[in-house]
Structure 1
């Protein structure tokens, strides 16, 4: 590195210039000494079988090429995890031994090998941690049961385990044999010495056993949790249950622990774009396209974001969707231009974050959270951070202008990280972190360029476009782009609010007219079609589900029962009508009861559906009364009022049942009158209708007049 001296300094005496240069050089050396050691991480999927050891060795060799040959030695972390659809127990001895011998070869001596076990490792895969210089485990992860799939243990296996364990001595050879051989016994002698049964007897005879403990008995395989190996036996160096803790324990930058995914599999990539204001419709379209691509065996999803933000519910839905994708599908967020407001937090839910140097991440945008909203989104980001093993403070500051975030430096390791006060206190030994600079401005959301985000380790990589990202993953084929077919366009049209309201209006009109017609006719068919399209469009928009559909169907059924089965208009009619209205309102929103400021803003739009329903009812009644009777075909589909002569004939026929002798008499209601029901006058049980609209069962009633085959009554 070349030191630059300002031109004005040339007038200083030469000795002063020498002093300035010396101080600058010393500062540079000090800065270099403070630089954390470099590291790389390679993930090894278990079981190790077939030719997987060759691919793993190639991955390790490629990682070695990327690490410098310098002091202090770089760290190579081998992360062992059970893969999908396989068990670590099925690892083959020969393949594991070949890898273990490679890890103990001279070629590997220029790096410090660390085995990281976030999950349990059993079977012959145990050989790999034994071949590393250092073992770090999650507290509840287990290591052992090496010979669990072997019917008998050969001498070759015993010698191999002794050789590998003895070379590194990460775990004592006696414990390694205890993991392999069910017949082996392991003792802890004088707290720090671990021996097998034969060595224990020799030490005992020699009088060198002051304190002893049998930790593995004959007939069982040795298996230990990370907590026991660290806290009880002091055999492993550290415990870590996250990538951040691992980086802190090893005193390496956590950005160095990003995996080289180009070595993992053959990638089939697709690119989708999230541009403009974020709406629920927009997000639903994007999710449908991604689901379609994943169904076509795509395993790398690139999401290019250029948005000022928008609907917070849609943003949260998209983030949850990205986190629920299958484990074999990797998501990469690319910000080329701008991701402002809550659009900036969408990359936080992706597996990798890539930015262009001049991109803008965060800052003021299309949506501003209320005080309660910022609390809710912060809690949500904390949950996402736990799942993605990322620090959340800076991302929360992009949508919360009141949150103060500062850059901190670890006093021992020299690592740097961004924390707010809350997240700082969650760290191991927070007192070891010292604040260097505040990165937020009071009253303003955090805004960073892509270069700043990368320097602060919020972004994982710098890339100009999707082609650069594909190159990082070694994508051999073209990046596909989901094509919007006529089916997608039809779905978008159906999901448009205006068209949804049209279907709702026509559906209500047709339903009311169908109730005035005999049997099931054209209006019933039209109503079913319209309501089917309405709920389908709302379902595609992500606002309706089976709850709304069941409420609507149940409501219509209750109203039909009230009209055709039970006389009057009582609990079934009122309840059914309320269910229909509730289903229509809920189908237009993503929440049941508003709790956030954004949801409160959406309530008027949801209630607008009720006005559409009322308008449809009024329009249908006017249509049925004033227009249908004059239309030649339609007038035959509805029940028409009788002319004067026909009405007189019907009245005469109804008078065949003469109830006029009961007028003025007192009876007892045999059922609840709402307003129709049954009543008993003396020994006669007749149909009655209450003129006040309601009378309870058992009430005394007086017959006012006879109306054909029923009486008009009132409470006494």
Structure 2
């Protein structure tokens, strides 16, 4: 006002000139105000629509859209409402019902929806009558390979009501030409592209042709087929849709809205039953297995909101990756929320990245040095893993990778056109559409140190979705009416943890091997066989429940014991069955103690000595059992009756006398031909006599010449010639 008064004093005799200048300054101010408003990102909301639309699902979808409308302000420019159409798990868009889809399409074209700009986002193919929903939106954005069409794929005949409905919805929005919309429904329709930009039916094409208005034409839909197009063709070939987007980030960038606004609002989507589990302390394989068992148990009891409270310095990278994979494989009806109240350091910081939502307290610590440090190759592996997780969860991965990679530089970038901000490393930046449009504003990492952020900083940088003090605050956001259940560790969980303890597992392994060796020296099946079965049962059961053993290890062990038994009782000697069976037993024991077959990472290499310790235990058990059987068992009153004892001198003489009934001494010194492999036992032919022989050297191939060295009852001891 003072400046205007001063201007009026300077131009006292020119009121008309003053009025003109005043109007000019007002116009400039109004334009500046518009530009200031344009600098502010447009507000947006996203509603996910699971296909097919059948039963009463259209009512639930309409209610979700109405709740989103209530959350969006009534301002200019109009907020954006994104309807993400995606086939549900186990469902097909083809099965959508016409009446339900038409009711929803008419709602989308109603006056109530005029205060927002509706955008249909198709990350996957949409077919069947669900096609009506994109037609009812003002704008269509698709993934390049997603398809739109085949609306009448389940219809045996097309009624006039259906045709009129498709013409009505397509004509209201003009997102796609009416001719194409009807051709998606009716196989009898043809569509021609006339003069590059006009799309008409076959009937209209003939009219234009007769009128001489066709300069250039192309048939894009033939009679007898339903129209269906990929996003790539609709955008690049026909210029019928506005944009292509393969991820939530690209979608936000194309629409010039903050990607944080595109987070789904689940607060009133369904009745939530919440459960809370805690991941605290150093992360170990057993700890993670226990956590996953508790989550599985709660989900089996109808829990659909899993709150994972994390307060950990990190730990076993294999266990961390296993937990993240497990969280990502949860069914669609189960939502996982990571809550960081204390400190999630090292690789514990990346676990929230695999959850559906990330919530932090203001003073929480995310990232920084902790209980595990990756090697150079380890950082490459974890970065590749985070890229895969980011693609599935539609999140940017750079900042999360920097929490475990101290050498990765991450900076804050601002989009020159939209004003949106995002965190990128150079690798992720180059993967963006038009990376040259992003300008760096500030580097958030410190060279040589893993990225460490407070909860407040993580929220400001849009790494976290919300701020909450505790699990109750999180549950309140979802409208949880009941109490939050917390799984209780029962005696069964405690027993599993005790059995999986390395010391107890080694004890069972030692006793099991010792008892097995003792049983092989005893007639029939006795106490040692029972002890061996019990010990090995506990050993493999504990390893199976702790997640390190599976059916492969059990089958290897049983097969190995069977091969050794064949070698001892069927094919005496020490040949292929004995060697192979022993190797199978050792392999089963080693594999049952680790989560990998062959070490590939630094952490797995560190676990190899622990795995090899099982082999030494097996060897020690064999040695101890043999010593025990030879020197102790014969003097124990009960046990000596359960073992096979060597014959005394008188019994040995009687056995020798009985064996001498068959006299083969006349063949000693003669040369024969082995009629089978001698390993070491088998048969050989001396002249016309076929006798049992045992090879002195342990092996001789079939057809080899052998010399009889000594006659031993009813068989000969031979050696290769």
Match of 1:448, SS? strand
Query: Residue 17 of structure 1 aligns with which residue?
Result: none
Asked if 1:473 corresponds to 2:489, the answer is no
- Counterpart CA distance in 2 for 1:579 and 1:163 is 71
Moved more, 194-203 or 331-340: 194-203
- Counterpart CA distance in 1 for 2:382 and 2:461 is 22
Match of 2:331, SS? coil
CA spacing shift, 1:153–1:642, aligned 2, 3 Å: closer
**How much has 1:29 moved relative to structure 2?**
10
Match of 1:143, SS? strand
Aligned 1:127-526 pairs, distance under 5 A = 127-526=132-531
**How much has 1:324 moved relative to structure 2?**
1.9
**How much has 1:195 moved relative to structure 2?**
2.6
CA spacing shift, 1:101–1:630, aligned 2, 3 Å: same
- Counterpart CA distance in 2 for 1:666 and 1:182 is 89
- Counterpart CA distance in 2 for 1:182 and 1:618 is 80
Maintained 8 Å contact 2:496/2:546: no
Count of residue pairs brought into register by the alignment: 691
Match of 2:497, SS? helix
CA spacing shift, 1:705–1:124, aligned 2, 3 Å: closer
Residue by residue over 1:15-61, the C-alpha shift from the partner in whole angstroms, topping out at 9 and shown as x without a partner, is xxxxxxxxxxx999987653321110011222333333332222122
Runs of at least 5 residues in structure 1 that lack an aligned partner in the other structure = 1-25
Residue by residue over 1:652-707, the C-alpha shift from the partner in whole angstroms, topping out at 9 and shown as x without a partner, is 22222233333344444444444433333333333333444444444444433333
Asked if 1:529 corresponds to 2:538, the answer is no
Query: Residue 109 of structure 2 aligns with which residue?
Result: 104
**How much has 1:345 moved relative to structure 2?**
1.2
Aligned 1:669-680 pairs, distance under 5 A = 669-680=674-685
- Counterpart CA distance in 2 for 1:217 and 1:564 is 76
- Counterpart CA distance in 1 for 2:37 and 2:208 is 50
Alignment partner of 1:705 out of 685, 701, 710: 710
Match of 2:510, SS? helix
Query: Residue 611 of structure 2 aligns with which residue?
Result: 606
Asked if 1:546 corresponds to 2:551, the answer is yes
CA spacing shift, 1:635–1:141, aligned 2, 3 Å: same
CA spacing shift, 1:207–1:602, aligned 2, 3 Å: same
- Counterpart CA distance in 1 for 2:457 and 2:33 is 22
Match of 1:519, SS? coil
**How much has 1:215 moved relative to structure 2?**
2.8
Runs of at least 5 residues in structure 2 that lack an aligned partner in the other structure = 1-30
Asked if 1:69 corresponds to 2:110, the answer is no
Match of 1:261, SS? coil
Match of 1:484, SS? coil
Maintained 8 Å contact 1:401/1:443: yes
Maintained 8 Å contact 1:357/1:462: yes
Maintained 8 Å contact 2:678/2:700: yes
**How much has 1:154 moved relative to structure 2?**
4.5
CA spacing shift, 1:229–1:652, aligned 2, 3 Å: same
Maintained 8 Å contact 1:272/1:482: yes
Alignment partner of 1:82 out of 87, 95, 100: 87
- Counterpart CA distance in 2 for 1:103 and 1:654 is 100
- Counterpart CA distance in 1 for 2:145 and 2:595 is 39
Match of 1:263, SS? coil
Match of 1:262, SS? coil
User: Taking structure 1 as the reference length, what is the TM-score of the superposition?
Assistant: 0.92
Match of 2:632, SS? helix
- Counterpart CA distance in 2 for 1:179 and 1:647 is 95
- Counterpart CA distance in 1 for 2:51 and 2:89 is 9
Match of 1:369, SS? coil
- Counterpart CA distance in 2 for 1:643 and 1:31 is 108
Moved more, 185-194 or 580-589: 185-194
CA spacing shift, 1:683–1:430, aligned 2, 3 Å: same
Match of 2:446, SS? coil
CA spacing shift, 1:662–1:438, aligned 2, 3 Å: same
CA spacing shift, 1:219–1:615, aligned 2, 3 Å: closer
**How much has 1:279 moved relative to structure 2?**
0.8
Asked if 1:623 corresponds to 2:628, the answer is yes
- Counterpart CA distance in 1 for 2:130 and 2:709 is 94
Residue by residue over 1:464-515, the C-alpha shift from the partner in whole angstroms, topping out at 9 and shown as x without a partner, is 2112222222222222222222222222222121111111111111111111
Alignment partner of 1:591 out of 582, 596, 606: 596
Maintained 8 Å contact 1:567/1:677: no
- Counterpart CA distance in 2 for 1:713 and 1:204 is 103
